[in-house]
Structure 1
Amino acid sequence: MKVFLPKPNRTFGASDVLGLLGLVGLLVARYIPVAKLIPFWGCTLRETTGWPCLGCGLTRVADRVAHFQFALAWQANPLGTVAAFFFALMVVVTVLHLVFAMPVPELQLSPREWHWVRIVCVIVVLLNYAWVVVTTKFPHLLA
C-alpha cells in the first residue's frame, strides 16, 4: 500500500463528491421525513416475504445518525451506520479541502491488496446481513 500526499490544492475530486453527497444525504435525513412523505417507501422484499433485504434499515440509519441517535442507528444496520459516519467524515474532509486547501491523501493498493479488500468487504456485508436478519426475524436470540 502506498499513500501519496499531493500539494495543497482546491481541485474538486472524488472525495469532494462523497462529501457533498454525505452533506445532502444527512441534511435530507435530518429535515425531510422521506419515509412518511413517499407512500411506496419501504422494503418490498420485507413486506412480501417477511425477510429483510441487504439494505433494510438504511433509511432509519440515516435518520438516526442525523438526529445523533447512534446506538439506535447501530441497532438498525451496523454497516449502514459505519457508512453514515464515513459520509459525515467526508463532509469535514471536503470543507477542509475546498476552504483551506488541505491536501487529500491518495491511497494506491496492489492487486493482491485489492483482492483482500474485496474478500473482507464480502465477509463484512454477510456478517452485517446476518445481524439484520437476526435482529428482525429472531430478536429473542439476542436477549
Structure 2
Amino acid sequence: MKVTLPKPNRTFGLTDVLGLVGLVGLLIARYVPVAKIIPFWGCALRETTGWPCFGCGLTRVADRVAHLNFAGAWDANPLGTVAALFFALMVVVTVLHLVFAMPIPQVRLSPREWHWVRIAAALLLLTNYAWVVVKTKFPYLLA
C-alpha cells in the first residue's frame, strides 16, 4: 500500500462526489418519507417469497441514520449502517476539502492487496446477508 498526500487543493474528485451523494441521500432520507409516498416501494423478493434480498433494510438504514438512530439502523442492516456512516464521513471530508483546501490522501493498492480487498468484501457481504436472513426468517435464533 502506498499513501501520498498532495498539496492543499480544491480539486473536485471522487471523494467530493461521494460526499455530495451522501449529503443528498441523507437529506432525502431525513426529510422525504420515500417509503410512504411511493406506492410500489419495498422489496419485491421479500413480498413474493418471504426471503430478504441483499439490500433489504437499506431504506430503513438511511432513514434511521439520518435521524441519528444508529442502533435501529444497525438492527435493520449492519453493513448498510457502515456504508451510511461512510457517506456521512465523506460529507465532512468534502466540506473540509472544498472549503478549507484540505488535501485528501491518495491510497494505491497493489494487485495482491486488491485481491484480498475483494475477498474481504465478498465475505462481508455474505456475512451481512446471512445475518439479515436469520433476523428476518429465524429471529428466535437471535434471542
Q: Distance in 1 between matches of 2:123 and 2:22?
A: 25
The Cα of 1:74 is off from its aligned counterpart by 0.2
Residue-by-residue CA offset, 1:28-70 (whole Å, 9 max, x unaligned): 0000000000000000000000000000000000000000110
Specify every segment of 5 or more residues in structure 1 that has no aligned partner in the other structure, as ranges.
none
Report the residue type matching 1:87 in the other structure: F
| Cα separation, 2, equivalents of 1:4 and 1:28 | 35
Find the counterpart in structure 1 of residue 89 from structure 2: 89
Structure 2: distance between partners of 1:135 and 1:69: 19
Q: SS where residue 8 of structure 1 aligns?
A: coil
Secondary structure at the counterpart of residue 107 of structure 1? strand
2:15 matched residue in structure 1: 15
Whether 1:45 and 2:31 are equivalent positions in the alignment is: no
Partner of residue 31, structure 1: 31
Query: Aligned partners of 1:3, 1:13: CA distance in 2, in Å?
Result: 17
User: Number of paired residues?
Assistant: 143
Identity %: 81
SS in structure 1 opposite 2:89? helix
Could you tell me how far apart the structure 1 residues matched to 2:105 and 2:19 are? 15
Q: CA RMSD in A?
A: 0.3
Unaligned runs of 5+ in 2: none
Q: TM (normalized to structure 2)? A: 1.00
Counterpart AA for 1:17:
V
The reply to whether residue 109 of structure 1 matches residue 109 of structure 2 is yes
Q: State the shift of 1:75 in Å.
A: 0.5
Q: Distance in 2 between matches of 1:10 and 1:63?
A: 31
Q: Does 1:139 align with 2:136?
A: no
Give the 3-state SS of the residue equivalent to 2:94 in structure 1: helix
Within 1, Cα distance between the matches of 2:71 and 2:14? Answer: 30
**2:76 corresponds to 1:100:** no
Letter of the aligned partner of 2:120 in structure 1?
V
Distance, in Å, in 2 between the alignment partners of 1:125 and 1:49 is 21
Runs of 4+ in 1 over 2 A off after TM superposition: none
**Structure 1 SS opposite 2:107:** strand
Please state how far the C-alpha of 1:141 moved relative to its aligned partner.
Answer: 0.3
Name the amino acid aligned to 2:136.
T
